[in-house]
Structure 1
Amino acid sequence: MDAEFNGTFITLGGFVDVDKYRYLYFVIFLTLYILILFTNGTIICLICIHRNLHEPMYIFIAALSLNSLLFSTAIYPKLCIDVLSKKQTISHSACMFQYCLYYSFAAADFLLLSAMAYDRYVSICQPLQYPTIMGKRTVIVLLTLAWFLPACEVVVATVVNSQQKLCDFTTRGIVCNNTIVKLHCVKSAFLTFYSLFVTMNVVVVPVMFILFTYTKIFIITYHSCAEVRKKAAETCFPHLMVLFIFLCLVLFDVVIARLESDLPKIVRLIMTLQIVVYNPLFNPIMYGVKMKAIWKHIKRLFCRLVNKII
């Protein structure tokens, strides 16, 4: 019976003292999920409602918030169920599905940030051509590629992963990410090289493109007037901060997979929690506070809510 159970289900062994802190885990995860839904949902609604925010830059911010919602929904409901369960398990097929969603939405973040960098580059460096270049069709194409391209590439990796024979059925993680590679009986050379190929496509190339575009922006604004420099700083700083934080978290994910046996359990748990907490929660706070047009509508909404309560 145990052999049959273990052959069908994978145990998520990355939790620390879950029996002792079961309800604390649940309250923390549920609170974080609600905060992520509320903050990102607020950004999306404000951008959809207010016509002065119907510009490519804000549409990409809304897409980034939507992506954070989808990423979090693929993670947090399962975490809440796991901590309330006696055994933290997941079926192999469900694990592969979560793996696919996890990396598809994570990779989409980099491509969305690339689209935002391109939008800023055209807006600041080619302002007269901006309405022509960044039309509705261009925005739709960029959004489609940002979600469709990584999803197609990650699906291939997911299919290959799902066909690997498992010799272990207990991961050292709390979600189905790269930690499942350690369960394979034989390390797949194709999967290793294909993962590098996908990483180059959806991480390295977008990051290099973003750095290139912002370098061009800073060079041009350096020789411009103070007003142009101020505008560039206001719109580019949040994007660079989000990129920096997210890139660090992706490196954490790689560390978890490659150095898993060398890391204490509590360290792996903290690192994983950073991946699933910081970016979905950091994005709306950064854009909501640093982007003046969005922050203005947030303050108005807050004042209306306070007046109704009073």
Structure 2
Amino acid sequence: MAAFNLSHFDPSTFFLTGIPGLEAAHIWISIPLSVFYIISLLGNFIILFVVSKEQDLHKPMYLLICMLALVDIVTSTSIVPKELCIFWFNLNSITVGGCFTQMFFLYAISSMQSSILVIMAFDRYVAICNPLRYTTILTNHRIAKLGLVGLIRAVLVILPMPLLLSSQPFCANRIIPHTFCNHMAVAKISCGDTTVSRMYALVIVIVFTALDLPLIALSYVLITRALFRISSKKTHQKALNTCTAHIFVMLMFYPPFIFSTLTYRFGQGIAPHITVMLANLYSAVTPMLNPIIYGVKTKELCDKVYKYSCRRQSPGATDFKHS
């Protein structure tokens, strides 16, 4: 605590400790973290650039991938730069307003990502189960509207969480044992009654999980049933490629998010540094892997990325790839 000079603390400031118990290893931890962040930004911006430039990719599925790329950029950027400032320069302080703003963006973006994954599941359902009506059911305009609905849902549902917590008093202990303003980490340092705020946050996790996951599961049940009725191996392979990418992205989002949320509330026997490390991996690794997964598993997108990456090579390079 002496490191934060609490004897002269600013009542408008919180202090982030970094990873509790691993302060001596902060420099080493920052190396892979910064690499993950750079790869994440590079991969997601490449996807946004390629899709915006290629008219062939102006389709609902790629519009959803761009939404996911934007979400990944905001997720990692709202956390990683501040973490690196803590690890490299010991800039542990964060204003109270900045803390609650970061909290809002983190949880709102997670909610938005869940909405995008639901829309992606519906997109795959329509593409596989009703391919002839795909272009009429799912237009770019309709996908944009669904994305806007997901954004409005995220803002309206998440906004009360930091507002409820910010109304609570914070006394002398203003040290947050985390690398970012996690809701439960901030709630634990309040000297007021945070029961309502904690319960609201838990209800949000339960409701979102209970609403979104069953919708995704239903889509894949219907997709599986439709595939059993199709004998074409080519159709099976194409459907498998696009669905596999979506399933991988879901597995990287829902289990870590739910596990991280529940362990902070109920995992009393888990060491603090493990909980914080898991939260950091979730926020840094997932945004890095998402563009890689979609780039590898979606052939049309992969070909377009390759086209731009090889633009400065000889004209025969592309021909060699397809030979």
Fold equivalence (TM over 0.5): yes
Gaps of 5+ in 1: none
Match of 1:171 among 176, 182, 185: 176
Counterpart-to-counterpart distance in 2, 1:131 and 1:117 = 16
Q: How does 1:96-115 map to 2 (within 5 A)?
A: 96-115=100-119
The residue number in structure 2 matching 1:277 is 284
Q: Using the aligned pairs only, state the percent identity.
A: 23
User: How far does residue 195 in structure 1 lie from its aligned partner after superposition?
Assistant: 2.0
The residue number in structure 2 matching 1:235 is 242
User: How far does residue 107 in structure 1 lie from its aligned partner after superposition?
Assistant: 1.2
Sort the Cα spacing of 1:42 and 1:87 in 2 relative to 1 into closer, same or farther, 3 A: closer
Q: How does 1:170-209 map to 2 (within 5 A)?
A: 170-178=175-183, 179-209=185-215
Counterpart-to-counterpart distance in 1, 2:281 and 2:23 = 22
Partners of 1:222 and 1:229 within 8 A in 2:
no
Sort the Cα spacing of 1:260 and 1:175 in 2 relative to 1 into closer, same or farther, 3 A: farther
User: How far does residue 160 in structure 1 lie from its aligned partner after superposition?
Assistant: 0.7
Query: How many pairs align?
Result: 309
Counterpart-to-counterpart distance in 2, 1:176 and 1:111 = 23
SS of the residue corresponding to residue 94 of structure 2 reads strand
User: How far does residue 23 in structure 1 lie from its aligned partner after superposition?
Assistant: 4.1
Counterpart-to-counterpart distance in 2, 1:121 and 1:145 = 20
Match of 1:287 among 288, 294, 301: 294
Matched, 1:220 2:226: yes
Partners of 1:56 and 1:134 within 8 A in 2:
yes
Q: Which amino acid aligns with 1:304?
A: R
Q: Deviations over 1:101-138 (max 9, x none)?
A: 11111111110011111111111111222111112331
User: How far does residue 260 in structure 1 lie from its aligned partner after superposition?
Assistant: 5.9
User: How far does residue 87 in structure 1 lie from its aligned partner after superposition?
Assistant: 4.9
User: How far does residue 196 in structure 1 lie from its aligned partner after superposition?
Assistant: 3.5
Partners of 2:78 and 2:106 within 8 A in 1:
yes
Partners of 2:129 and 2:223 within 8 A in 1:
yes
Q: TM (normalized to structure 1)?
A: 0.91
User: How far does residue 6 in structure 1 lie from its aligned partner after superposition?
Assistant: 5.4
Sort the Cα spacing of 1:97 and 1:119 in 2 relative to 1 into closer, same or farther, 3 A: same
Q: TM (normalized to structure 2)?
A: 0.87
Q: Which amino acid aligns with 2:38?
A: I
The residue number in structure 2 matching 1:30 is 34
The residue number in structure 1 matching 2:138 is 134
User: How far does residue 259 in structure 1 lie from its aligned partner after superposition?
Assistant: 4.1
Counterpart-to-counterpart distance in 2, 1:205 and 1:112 = 13
Sort the Cα spacing of 1:287 and 1:35 in 2 relative to 1 into closer, same or farther, 3 A: same
Query: What RMSD over aligned residues (CA atoms) do the two structures have, in Å?
Result: 2.4
Matched, 1:89 2:89: no
Most deviating of 141-150 and 183-192: 183-192
Most deviating of 136-145 and 282-291: 136-145
Counterpart-to-counterpart distance in 2, 1:22 and 1:114 = 37
Gaps of 5+ in 2: 316-323
Q: Which amino acid aligns with 1:65?
A: A
